[in-house]
């Protein structure tokens, strides 16, 4: 029998969570004495389907993670066992610590194709090693936050709550997804550990199983509401409107019983919400709110909101939990400078922008964003705000440049509100890839460099 492996990755194992070629390349750099300072840029080439921007998340977390990365004795032993690595290299690896510099976008920044979310500067091996882990971590949060923010926009101010833990890809996704959701403006989560860890209010109702474990639905409602004043009762186990009537009868019989809301979880949510609202209002229970869930995505929420469905809170699981319409982002982590010289890869369709960069976000007289300029890091651009901050300096975290969770949420909320209105529209794949409404251009100096390098 295979012993049960742990569910998580201990800090001591984290450096092994990498692609093999990172380690073989590292040994090659070590073997060849290649220690020149390099710059790697993390960016994506194309927006995924249905996205007009991505909400950059996780890059500051990943930068901090980089400073903690180390090879424990047990990690070194396991690498030795592979037979691929020499003793001298493993000794070098056992002393590995990231001592370089990292520039990052603040968490919660809307970001567009070819803009660096992160630039890493260090001797080539130090910077190369980070590739796989950084990509895994930044993709996770950026993909989930970029989906969540669409649900938040669709709800037009009504709270959206995360019910997605069971549909997320494993425990790390479930927990750190809550961090991404919080940045995106999600109002609460059913995920206990995620909510406690990232200070997002815990929310929960009841499951159908609780109702089914009772012989009588009304008894289930009464017992639960007695124990949890102000709770939400799930009314659709047998028949939704019949369930609502039972709530009303219960409240009529026990006026002191506090019932905060009912939850609809199947059927035509708009119609059921209207009819439930009517029943509750007619009975004088205007204060009982309506929570709706059941495979909701941003389009359904937008339709419900615009049709005026009397739904107060949306619970979202599946669609947000894995960002089902766009579960991946084609992040690249590319060498753009080595030993002071810009580097460009020429593979068809995969050319990168050479050299160290900065992104300037420009705005009009009202403060609304009008477009971005990607420039060389060294050049002076008069207009616009530089976005990339010097987060890690010589391997040390500069706390002044790490956003708190609240700052990240505020950054996201404010930035999105300053984008052109068309960028906030929910688009389908066919028309979502146009960036005409938000020009991202290259500075003249960067264009010149690119021409020189591609010549």
Applying the rule CB under 8 A, the residues between 315 and 354 that interact with a copy of itself are: 318, 321-324, 327-328, 330-331, 334-335, 338, 343-350
Smaller CB separation from a copy of itself, 35 or 424: 35
> Which of the residues 242 through 281 are near a copy of itself (CB under 8 A)?
265-267
Structure tokens at 65: 């993670």
DSSP 49: T
> Which of the residues 226 through 245 are near a copy of itself (CB under 8 A)?
227-228, 231, 236-240
Show the 3-state SS of 251-264: HHHCCCCCEEEEEE
119 interacts with a copy of itself by CB under 8 A: no
> Which of the residues 28 through 87 are near a copy of itself (CB under 8 A)?
28-29, 31-32, 34, 36, 38, 40, 61, 64-65, 68, 78-79, 82, 84
- Residues contacting a copy of itself: total by CB under 8 A: 121
* Cα–Cα distance for residue pair 446/34, rounded to 1 Å: 27
Smaller CB separation from a copy of itself, 356 or 424: 356
With CB under 8 A as the contact rule, the residue among 114, 183, 205, 411 that binds a copy of itself is: 205
* Cα–Cα distance for residue pair 338/182, rounded to 1 Å: 37
453 interacts with a copy of itself by CB under 8 A: no
What does each C-alpha distance from 347 to 9, 116, 140, 351 come to in angstroms?
35, 19, 26, 6
Smaller CB separation from a copy of itself, 179 or 361: 179
With CB under 8 A as the contact rule, the residue among 72, 92, 113, 136 that binds a copy of itself is: 136
CA angle 189, 193, 197 (to 5 degrees): 90
At its nearest, how many Å lie between a copy of itself and the CB of residue 360?
A: 27
Smaller CB separation from a copy of itself, 136 or 427: 136
Structure tokens at 453: 């390098």
Smaller CB separation from a copy of itself, 122 or 373: 122
Smaller CB separation from a copy of itself, 127 or 152: 127
Q: Where are the beta strands (DSSP E) in 37-175?
A: 37-44, 54-56, 101-104, 109-111, 118-123, 160-162
With CB under 8 A as the contact rule, the residue among 87, 95, 157, 213 that binds a copy of itself is: 213
> Which of the residues 391 through 410 are near a copy of itself (CB under 8 A)?
399, 402, 404-405
Smaller CB separation from a copy of itself, 169 or 306: 169
Q: Do the strands 396-397 and 389-393 form a parallel or antiparallel pair, or are they unpaired?
A: antiparallel
Q: Centre a 10 Å sphere on the Cβ of residue 4 and count the other Cβ atoms it contains.
A: 6
At its nearest, how many Å lie between a copy of itself and the CB of residue 368?
A: 30
* Cα–Cα distance for residue pair 136/328, rounded to 1 Å: 10
306 interacts with a copy of itself by CB under 8 A: no
302 interacts with a copy of itself by CB under 8 A: no
What does each C-alpha distance from 259 to 70, 110, 236, 242, 285 come to in angstroms?
52, 39, 16, 17, 10
With CB under 8 A as the contact rule, the residue among 128, 293, 411, 415 that binds a copy of itself is: 128
Smaller CB separation from a copy of itself, 144 or 388: 144
366 interacts with a copy of itself by CB under 8 A: no
Smaller CB separation from a copy of itself, 163 or 360: 163
> Which of the residues 3 through 22 are near a copy of itself (CB under 8 A)?
4-11, 13-14, 16-22
DSSP 23: H
For the four alpha carbons of 20, 23, 27 and 32, in that order, the dihedral sign comes to positive
Smaller CB separation from a copy of itself, 115 or 131: 131
- CB–CB of 301/314 below 8 Å? yes
Q: Centre a 10 Å sphere on the Cβ of residue 267 and count the other Cβ atoms it contains.
A: 13
With CB under 8 A as the contact rule, the residue among 145, 184, 206, 296 that binds a copy of itself is: 206
At its nearest, how many Å lie between a copy of itself and the CB of residue 256?
A: 18
Structure tokens at 333: 């982590």
Sheet holding 385-386: strands in order across?
Answer: 385-386, 357-363, 369-376, 440-442
At its nearest, how many Å lie between a copy of itself and the CB of residue 60?
A: 10
Q: Exposed (0-12), middle (13-18) or buried (19+): which is 156, by Cβ within 10 Å? A: exposed
At its nearest, how many Å lie between a copy of itself and the CB of residue 166?
A: 4
């Amino acid at each position: 029998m295979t012993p049960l492996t742990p569910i998580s990755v201990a800090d001591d194992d984290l450096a092994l969570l990498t692609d093999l070629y990172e380690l073989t390349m590292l040994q090659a750099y070590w073997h060849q004495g290649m220690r020149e300072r390099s710059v790697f840029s993390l960016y994506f080439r194309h927006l995924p389907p249905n996205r007009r921007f991505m909400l950059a998340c996780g890059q500051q977390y990943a930068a901090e993670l980089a400073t903690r990365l180390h090879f424990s004795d047990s990690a070194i032993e396991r690498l030795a066992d592979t037979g691929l690595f020499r003793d001298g290299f493993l000794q070098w690896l056992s002393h590995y610590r990231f001592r370089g510099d990292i520039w990052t976008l603040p968490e919660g920044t809307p970001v567009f194709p070819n803009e660096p979310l992160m630039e890493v500067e260090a001797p080539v091996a130090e910077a190369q090693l980070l590739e796989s882990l950084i990509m895994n971590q930044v993709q996770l949060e950026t993909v989930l936050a970029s989906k969540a923010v669409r649900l938040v926009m669709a709800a037009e101010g009504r709270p959206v709550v995360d019910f997605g833990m069971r549909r997320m890809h494993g425990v790390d996704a479930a927990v750190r997804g809550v961090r991404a959701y919080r940045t995106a403006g999600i109002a609460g989560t059913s995920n206990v550990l995620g909510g406690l860890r990232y200070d997002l209010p815990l929310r929960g109702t009841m499951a159908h199983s609780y109702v089914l474990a009772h012989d009588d639905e009304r008894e289930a409602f009464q017992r639960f509401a007695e124990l949890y004043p102000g709770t939400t009762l799930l009314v659709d186990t047998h028949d939704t409107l019949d369930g609502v009537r039972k709530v009303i009868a219960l409240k009529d019989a026990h006026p002191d019983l506090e019932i905060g809301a009912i939850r609809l979880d199947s059927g035509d949510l708009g119609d059921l919400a209207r009819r439930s609202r009517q029943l509750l209002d007619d009975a004088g229970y205007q204060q009982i709110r309506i929570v709706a869930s059941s495979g909701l995505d941003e389009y359904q929420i937008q339709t419900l909101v615009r049709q005026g469905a009397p739904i107060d809170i949306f619970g979202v699981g599946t669609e947000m939990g894995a960002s089902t319409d766009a579960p991946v982002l084609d992040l690249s982590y590319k060498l753009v400078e080595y030993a002071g010289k810009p580097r460009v890869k020429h593979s068809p369709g995969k050319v990168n922008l050479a050299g160290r960069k900065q992104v300037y976000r420009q705005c009009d007289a009202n403060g609304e964003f009008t477009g971005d300029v990607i420039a060389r890091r060294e050049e002076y651009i008069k207009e616009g705000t530089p976005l990339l901050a010097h987060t890690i300096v010589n391997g040390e975290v500069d706390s002044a440049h790490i956003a708190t969770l609240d700052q990240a949420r505020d950054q996201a909320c404010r930035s999105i509100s300053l984008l052109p209105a068309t960028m906030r529209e929910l688009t389908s794949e066919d028309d979502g890839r146009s960036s005409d409404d938000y020009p991202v251009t290259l500075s003249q100096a960067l264009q010149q460099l690119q021409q020189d390098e591609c010549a």
